[in-house]
Amino acid sequence: MSNTLCIVVPCYNEEAVLHETAKRLKDKVRTLINAGKISDKSRIVFVNDGSKDKTWEIICDLHKDDVVFSGINLAKNAGHQNAVLAGLMTVKNFCDNAITMDADLQDDIDAVDEMIEKALNGCDVVYGVRNKRKKDTFLKRFTAESFYKMMKAMGVNVVFNHADYRLMSKRVLEHLSEFKEVNLFLRGMIPLIGFKSDNVYYERSERFAGESKYPLSKMLSFAINGITSFSVTPLRLITTIGIITIFISIAAFMYILISFFVGSELVERGWASIMSSIWLIGGIQILSIGVIGEYIGKIYFETKARPRYIIESFINE
């Protein structure tokens, strides 16, 4: 069988779950090899994203025990998206397909079987999509679904309820390497490549062990990065808000002018409305400057063209 598969797993402080993750992935790879679905050269590639615990030591031990495990050690913490990209760009030269998934075992490993089937049937990209969010809190479910709907409304082509659990063919990885932006949002970048794609639906489980690496602050930052990386709609909204504010100001001026000539007492008692207007307009201005600042900041980092990640070591065979 010539279908070599690499499963890329970014890791940041995952010592609590890594042994179990490795065991389950190894069982899955061996099963697929025995079934003739993938080559015996297939590998599980853990990417250590500057972990402060024993994650890299565990990866090295796993590799010593079985060559099915490979490891990439980044020189410093580069962030989840950069760690995923580092793994993909490293394995693209010796795999036919690559699957990315998180180390926390929330993604259903059994969905890999269906991904492989769809890849063998000609799909270049297979997205792992959550079919339900019953185990999420109301806040997390609401914010996540609102994010995907907002992205769609802003014209960004993203797959609803898809994170970073996906299969990509070798030619997709080759084209992905042509994307040079520093601000990464892979959920938006992959659909831009095109080629035949399909979805695999699964139920996301609870984290097996350890703590989530994505608190609310990071999720908000990730959402802002995704929106500003693929849409200029926020800038256009500023223009729209500005135009609306001008019309409201004209209407208010006409109302005050008419009230003055008819001798209305509202003109003298308008302190509250004036202050409210000042605060409203001031808030709009500050928000607008902040949105523009986000885009200028992205331009700043892109023009520097700094490396997105630095690989300290790669243990393979």
What are the strands, taking DSSP E only, across 5-130?
Answer: 5-11, 43-48, 69-74, 97-100, 125-130
Residues contacting 102, CB < 8 A, separation 6+: 9, 10, 163, 164, 165
Angle at 293 between CA 287 and CA 299, to 5 degrees: 155
179: phi then psi, degrees, rounded to nearest 5:
-80, 120
- Asked if 285 and 311 sit in the same domain, the reply is no
Give the largest CA-CA distance in the chain.
Answer: 91
State the Cα torsion 303-304-307-309 to the nearest 10°: -90
Residue 216 lies in a domain: no
- Asked if 311 and 290 sit in the same domain, the reply is no
- Asked if 170 and 55 sit in the same domain, the reply is yes
Q: What is the pLDDT of residue 278?
A: 75
- Asked if 178 and 255 sit in the same domain, the reply is no
Residues contacting 88, CB < 8 A, separation 6+: 8, 98, 100, 168, 173, 176
CATH number at residue 204: 3.90.550.10
* Secondary element (H or E) of residue 312: strand 311-315
Q: What is the pLDDT of residue 202?
A: 86
pLDDT tens for the 317 residues of the chain, in order? 578 999 999 999 998 899 999 999 999 999 999 988 999 899 999 999 999 989 999 999 999 999 999 999 999 998 889 999 999 999 998 899 999 999 888 888 999 999 999 999 999 999 998 887 666 666 667 777 777 777 777 777 777 778 889 999 999 999 999 988 888 888 888 988 888 999 999 887 665 555 555 555 666 666 676 676 766 677 777 777 777 777 777 777 677 667 666 665 555 555 556 766 776 777 778 778 877 877 887 777 777 777 888 999 998 87
- Asked if 142 and 287 sit in the same domain, the reply is no
- Asked if 55 and 129 sit in the same domain, the reply is yes
Angle at 196 between CA 7 and CA 80, to 5 degrees: 35
- Asked if 88 and 205 sit in the same domain, the reply is yes
Residue 218 lies in a domain: no
- Phi-psi category of 13—alpha, beta or left, where left has phi over 0 and alpha has psi -120 to 50? left
Half-sphere exposure of 267 (CA within 13 A, CB side): 12
Q: What is the pLDDT of residue 142?
A: 72
Residue 152 lies in a domain: yes
Q: What is the pLDDT of residue 188?
A: 82
Taking only the tens place, the pLDDT of each residue in 127-137 is 998 887 666 66
Residue 204 lies in a domain: yes
- Asked if 183 and 238 sit in the same domain, the reply is no
Residue 221 lies in a domain: no
Query: Residue 63 has which token pair?
Result: 């590799």
Residue 224 lies in a domain: no
Nearest by Cα to 14 from 166, 211, 164, 163:
211
- Asked if 79 and 122 sit in the same domain, the reply is yes
**Is the overall model pTM greater than 0.75, yes or no?**
no
Taking only the tens place, the pLDDT of each residue in 32-76 is 999 889 998 999 999 999 999 899 999 999 999 999 999 999 999
- Asked if 34 and 183 sit in the same domain, the reply is yes
Residue 105 lies in a domain: yes
Q: What is the pLDDT of residue 205?
A: 66
- Asked if 114 and 129 sit in the same domain, the reply is yes
Q: What is the pLDDT of residue 117?
A: 92
What is the rounded CA–CA span in Å between residue 46 and residue 297? Answer: 31
What is the rounded CA–CA span in Å between residue 240 and residue 172? Answer: 38
255: phi then psi, degrees, rounded to nearest 5:
-65, -45
Tell me which residue range forms the domain holding 295: 233-304
Q: How many domains does the chain have?
A: 2
Residue 150 lies in a domain: yes
Q: At what angle do helices 186-193 and 216-230 cross, to 10 degrees?
A: 30
- Asked if 103 and 148 sit in the same domain, the reply is yes
